[in-house]
Each structure stands twice: as C-alpha cells, then as structure tokens.
Structure 1
C-alpha cells in the first residue's frame, strides 16, 4: 500500500479553514508562536471539531500525521514570512 502525502493546504481544507497560500501565511502569523507547553490540539484557537481532528490524526499516526506535525512546527516558529 502506498503512503499518502498531503499538502498543507489540504490540511487547512480538512480543518475548514481558508487554504490559499496567503490565508495560511496569515493564520500562521496570527497564531504563532504557540507556547511550548500547549499541545497543538489544545490551542485555544481551534474549534472542538478541529481539535478532535488533529488529536485523532496524531493518535492514530494516520496519513495526515506528517502534515499535522508540520503545522505544529510552523506554529512553534517565531519566524513567519
């Protein structure tokens, strides 16, 4: 079985967020840096459904987990374009 590779924009669509490049940049700029003691899925800016999606994908180590990890890293960064 071939692994699935999802794009950042596809994760934003799954989360019900605008998924164009500029909207993603704005989201990251507004919500970064996420404090190190806050788990990604527990960040206050997620809806309950978004939080559950992120938590479930990470717990199941699903094919979305890699891009969720990328989102986590991006939100921890203080450098945003």
Structure 2
C-alpha cells in the first residue's frame, strides 16, 4: 500500500494557515531564519495545537513527517 503524499499546501491547511503559495512564502520569509539551535517545533509563532501536531508527526514518523522536515529546513535557511 502506498503511503499518502502530502505537500506544504496540505500542511498549511492542516495547521489552519494561509496555504496559497504567497501565504506559504510570506510565512517562511517572516519567520526565518530560525537560529541553528532552535527547534522549529519550539518556535514561539506556533499555537499550542500547531506545535503539538508538528511534534506528534515527527515523533511518530507519521505521514506528514517528510513535509514537516521540509518546512523545518526552509525555516532554518536564510532567504
């Protein structure tokens, strides 16, 4: 059985954020770069529910984990 394919648009939908390409780009631009020692899931801009969802996905290596990792990389890069 194939695992579900998720993308950043879907993750932003899941988090209740603007999932348009401009919304995603603006979010990343306004919150990056995170300090190298700062875990994305501990960033102050998440609601407790959003942070909990992200932590759960990473901890359980769930279907969304790859996309969460991608967002983490983007938020740690200088844009």
TM-score (norm 1): 0.94
TM-fit CA distance, 1:5: 1.3
Task: Write out per-residue CA displacement over residues 18-72 of structure 1, whole angstroms, 9 at most, x where no aligned residue.
Answer: 1000011100000000111111110000000000000000000001000000000
Q: Which runs of 4+ in 1 moved over 6 A?
A: none
Q: Give TM-score, length-normalised by structure 2.
A: 0.96
Residue ranges of structure 2 left out of the alignment (5+ in a row): none
RMSD: 0.6
Structure 1 spans left out of the alignment, 5+ residues: none
Indicate the SS of the match to 1:2: coil
Aligned to 1:43: 43
Answering whether residue 74 of structure 2 is matched by residue 74 of structure 1, we say yes
